[in-house]
Amino acid sequence: MFTQDLLDKSSLLRKKWEDEVKKVIAKNPDMRERWSTVSDLEIKRIYGPEDIKNMDFEKDIAYPGQFPYLRGNQATGYRGKYWTFRMFAGMGTAVVTNQRWHYLLSTGQTGLSTAFDFPTLMGYDTDSPKAKGECGKCGVAIDTIDDFRDLIKGIPMDKITTSMTINPPATALWAMYCASAQEQGIPLTKIGGTIQNDMLKEFIAQKTLMCPPEPSVKLISDTVEFGTKYVPRWNTISISGYHIREAGATAVQELAFTLRDGMEYVEDAIRRKGLHVDEFAPRLSFFFNSHIDFFEEIAKLRAARRIWAKGMRERYNSQDPRSWWMRFHTQTAGCSLTAQQPYNNVVRTATEALAAVLGGTQSLHTNSLDEVLCLPSDHAVQIALRTQQLIAEETGVVNTIDPLAGAYFVEALTNEMEEKAWDYIHKIDEMGGMVAAIEKGFPQMEISDAAYKFQQQIDSGEKIMIGVNKYNVEDEIVDIPIVEIDDSIEQEQLRRLAETKRKRDGRKVAECLNDLAEACKKGENVMPYCIEAVKNYATVQEICDVYREVYGEYRDPGIY
């Protein structure tokens, strides 16, 4: 990177500076002995040319739109188009959520993102005993295509892209989306969006569990294949680090486990479906967390792009640059917010959103200040959305692409995180891949260790959370409005479900489910069967029960 002459000069000047530091410290010692990121990565007092002298500008940095895409996939950055302002929303019944969506679009949001309630996420209908007390609480309740039609009422499916945070029942919900589009006369080639559909991180972190890892990955490969052939604008997997981080992982662990998950999906689609990597890899998308440690997050996102590009080219012989691009959505860190002094959360979210933008995100959700307490209120959501709009339109950070490139510290930290991530990736390779590592409990234990360590650091005051272990307010009264989902929603949804069940042709439903079961047993792609089943009003749970029956049920092995 640098001439020997410059390095020599730097070394001289550095020595001088070090002497000065020693003198100052002797009189005024540092406040702390060790300085580290929120993930406990040690940070030096200063970085200089010597920290990045081994970098090769052409191979390691280059320009946006050039391998290894450290500086972004697109040549024009945010000048042609800002990132997508995509706020995660869902509550109560489909009708209620549809109203929230229209409100968000009217305030300048540019993409939709669906939060489902827990019964839907786990593949249970509202009338299941397991669903009691949970309906509509954390997201929207969807049991049948009748609900889905209400959810997307008035939304132009060929213009707005919709993301659905759904994992084990992803095939069922995506089938509803496809079937609804067809009902509206919109061809599948015209619809765009994302299903999260990332089961590996569920086993590692979020624990939305249904079937064992192996058949879960099979179902995912079905969607990859179906999307590749018939729904080319759809992102069939959103490989997610968000939940891994929320479960207590460090930034490096989030980076490593997420990318290794992505590699596992690539390997499975190649092996099981006989697809060429470049047929499907351009539609893989990622989803990261943006936590409170500003530079660590920027470095993480930059490193992620470079690791993926290298991995795709070198590990899988991909030839298509679109496969090398890591495209990702980012959400600010829910776990960094505090219930204490909740208005401080606006500042945290703004900092995290800025890091995501400087890291080059394609899409962003900003948490609302009240999300640590309840579902977000309209007002809180508006502030969160305005935070993004403000970063885009007022701060000027979008003027130039990857403004932090070349900064000694940022590049050195990016390199360090990449190195540490590859160490994990290689370790998991040695274990036989991510499914094998999960079966051994490896990523789960690493995350549990990190989570416990962080909590101990908070308790000891080594790490600070304002309002939790510093600057606390005695007898604080939190006077923000609490949004709650009334229990009457459950009754309403039970009524809706009963009505759909009454009007449908039970024999036809049974037939569809039987066909689906047969397809599962034969190893056929389940998607066409799912679409047929939902058109005939099969419920989310009925479809998932087929999977549970054929593939077996997986329970939390509780590795901690």
Contact footprint for another protein (CB under 8 A):
118-119, 121-122, 124, 129-134, 137-138, 202, 206-209, 212-214, 246-248, 335, 338-340, 372-375, 432, 435, 439-441, 448, 451-452, 455-456, 458-459, 465, 467-469, 478, 482, 484-485, 551-558, 560
Q: How far is the CB of 93 from another protein (least distance, A)?
A: 15
Close Cβ partners of 316 (under 8 Å, ≥ 6 residues apart): 266, 267, 270, 277, 281
378's tokens:
């309209």
Close Cβ partners of 537 (under 8 Å, ≥ 6 residues apart): 144, 145, 146, 500, 501, 503, 504, 509
Nearer to another protein (CB atom), residue 3 or residue 460: 460
For residue 111, the SS3 value is strand
Q: How far is the CB of 256 from another protein (least distance, A)?
A: 19
- Consecutive H or E run containing 183: helix 170-183
Nearer to another protein (CB atom), residue 95 or residue 465: 465
Q: How far is the CB of 97 from another protein (least distance, A)?
A: 15
Q: How far is the CB of 348 from another protein (least distance, A)?
A: 14
Closest CA to 325 of 20, 552, 154, 70: 70
Q: How far is the CB of 528 from another protein (least distance, A)?
A: 25
CA dist 10 and 6 (Å) reads 6
Nearer to another protein (CB atom), residue 17 or residue 560: 560
Omega within 30 of 0 (cis) for the link into 64: no
β-pairing verdict for 284-290 and 234-235: unpaired
Q: How far is the CB of 552 from another protein (least distance, A)?
A: 3
CA dist 85 and 423 (Å) reads 34
CA dihedral 362, 310, 166, 221 (to 10 degrees): 140
Asked if residue 554 lies in contact with residue 210, where contact means CB atoms within 8 angstroms, the answer is yes
Q: How far is the CB of 284 from another protein (least distance, A)?
A: 24
Nearer to another protein (CB atom), residue 419 or residue 484: 484
Between helix 213-230 and helix 170-183 the angle, nearest 10°, is 20
State which amino acid sits at residue 286: F
Nearer to another protein (CB atom), residue 19 or residue 486: 486
CA dihedral 331, 337, 339, 342 (to 10 degrees): -90
Nearer to another protein (CB atom), residue 30 or residue 549: 549
Q: How far is the CB of 130 from another protein (least distance, A)?
A: 7
Nearer to another protein (CB atom), residue 94 or residue 375: 375
Close Cβ partners of 98 (under 8 Å, ≥ 6 residues apart): 150, 151, 152, 153, 154, 155
Nearer to another protein (CB atom), residue 213 or residue 227: 213
CA dist 332 and 208 (Å) reads 21
Nearer to another protein (CB atom), residue 166 or residue 413: 166
| Residue showing tokens 């995180």 | 417
Chain length of the chain: 560
Q: How far is the CB of 138 from another protein (least distance, A)?
A: 5
Closest CA to 168 of 239, 217, 130, 135: 217
Nearer to another protein (CB atom), residue 131 or residue 385: 131
Q: How far is the CB of 320 from another protein (least distance, A)?
A: 33
Q: How far is the CB of 429 from another protein (least distance, A)?
A: 14
Between helix 251-273 and helix 294-316 the angle, nearest 10°, is 20
β-pairing verdict for 237-240 and 234-235: unpaired
Q: What is the DSSP letter of 82?
A: P
Nearer to another protein (CB atom), residue 424 or residue 554: 554
The number of beta carbons lying within 10 Å of the beta carbon of residue 344 is 16
Q: How far is the CB of 386 from another protein (least distance, A)?
A: 24
Nearer to another protein (CB atom), residue 124 or residue 234: 124
The number of beta carbons lying within 10 Å of the beta carbon of residue 222 is 26
CA dist 525 and 541 (Å) reads 19
